Structure 1
């Protein structure tokens, strides 16, 4: 049996409601987890949003679209571009929001790697 990755462990603990990890809206987390490309990214719920990162440790990549909103109230989900650069969709169900995030992921995105951003093999100055 293979060992659980950091990404797998984080998703599992969030979905199980582990009090030692950040948790967000259950419906949004479940819809995002159902999308294989999002499931491969590092999830980070915070302040009513669920963001996705290419890496597992701070500083985060912060270059991917994310979901805000709460599916358990009358407020529907909104999908934002990276760092609130744009609104990609509003009034969405969690499932629609997750699909929209996937549709707007860069082609070279995933799976997340263990470590900080930028990747160790990048030539960022």
Structure 2
């Protein structure tokens, strides 16, 4: 499966469900992907669909080591959506809508990322 070369391409492929790319086969992804893309702070991060989750990575490939996985992520499926922190994995909460799940992610981003989005 090819990896998108940059953040903008990753979002385009994710939203368009480009065949043979991350998330193209996951019918539960579109509402979460659309809600995430609507948030400017998340739109600057690399969207990473893996194992039934949508994660957000601070940088785009090429990764010389596994990417730093330190941001909240969403478990996909039917609502309610569960939002977790990475290791140690802790559930932050559940949300009835994709927009509310994205709100939980944004609310639990490190302060530097939230601050950068505001100005």
User: The TM-score by the shorter chain falls in which range?
Assistant: 0.7 to 0.9
Partner in structure 2 of residue 19 of structure 1? 19
**Equivalent position to 1:67, from 71, 74, 77:** 74
Partner in structure 1 of residue 100 of structure 2? 96
Comparing both chains, which one has the higher relative contact order based on Cα–Cα distances under 8 Å and sequence gaps of 6 or more?
A: 1
Q: Which has the larger radius of gyration?
A: 1
CA RMSD of aligned residues (A): 2.0
Q: Compared with structure 1, are the counterparts of its residues 84 and 22 closer, same or farther at alpha carbon in structure 2 (3 Å cutoff)?
A: farther
The total of aligned residue pairs comes to 104
| Structure with greater helix share of residues | 2
Alignment deviations for residues 3-37 of structure 1 (CA, whole Å, 9 cap, x no partner): xx810111011101101320141111111111111
Alignment deviations for residues 62-105 of structure 1 (CA, whole Å, 9 cap, x no partner): 000001122xx3x4210001235211111431110101100110
Runs of 4+ in 1 over 3 A off after TM superposition: none
Q: Which runs of 5+ in 2 are unaligned?
A: none
Distance 1:61 1:88 in 2: 20
Instruction: Report the 3-state secondary structure (helix = DSSP H, G, I; strand = E; otherwise coil) of the residue aligned with 2:92.
Output: strand
Residue 56 (structure 1) shift: 1.4
**Equivalent position to 1:48, from 49, 52, 60:** 52
TM-score of the two chains, using structure 1 as the length reference: 0.74
